[in-house]
Amino acid sequence: MDIRSAVDYGLARRAALVDLAAGRSSRLEACDADPYLLRAARYHGEDLPYPCPVCRHRRLRSVHYAFGDALKDASGRARRARQLESLARNYPDVTVYVVEVCPDCAWNHLLRTFVIGTAAMSTAATGTGRD
């Protein structure tokens, strides 16, 4: 699966955690996951190999959201990581957002975004990438 336009939000995550530890933000502000995000984490999320950075519970999950015009009504839905390969083969441009979520304390943070799809293959073959 070809990935393009990847953005990592690790520095923003670290800054949010530093602000929380220093008292510049409250746990209420940091742990504000929407009920829909918590539900997506429960049913579509995948376990992460490290604990929640706020409450230290081991149930930290990642949720992948896929967006794209070609997805029509399915745009914006949570997906499992294994489903992304199929989306990449069958649609031209799909933007994926990966969110870290703790179902216990409601911590959530955007980890990364990237674009997948058949457009990546065609631009690589022709050398006419837009990036």
pLDDT, tens digit only, all 131 positions of the chain: 788 999 999 999 999 999 999 999 999 999 999 999 999 999 999 999 999 999 999 889 999 999 999 999 999 999 999 999 999 999 999 999 999 999 999 999 999 999 999 985 555 555 555 55
Question: Model pTM?
Answer: 0.86
Measuring CA to CA, which residue among 87, 83, 92, 85 is closest to residue 121?
A: 92
Q: Which helix (H) or strand (E) holds 111?
A: strand 108-116
Residue type, 87: L
* SS3 call for 78: strand
Res 65: pLDDT: 97
Q: Which helix (H) or strand (E) holds 41?
A: helix 35-44
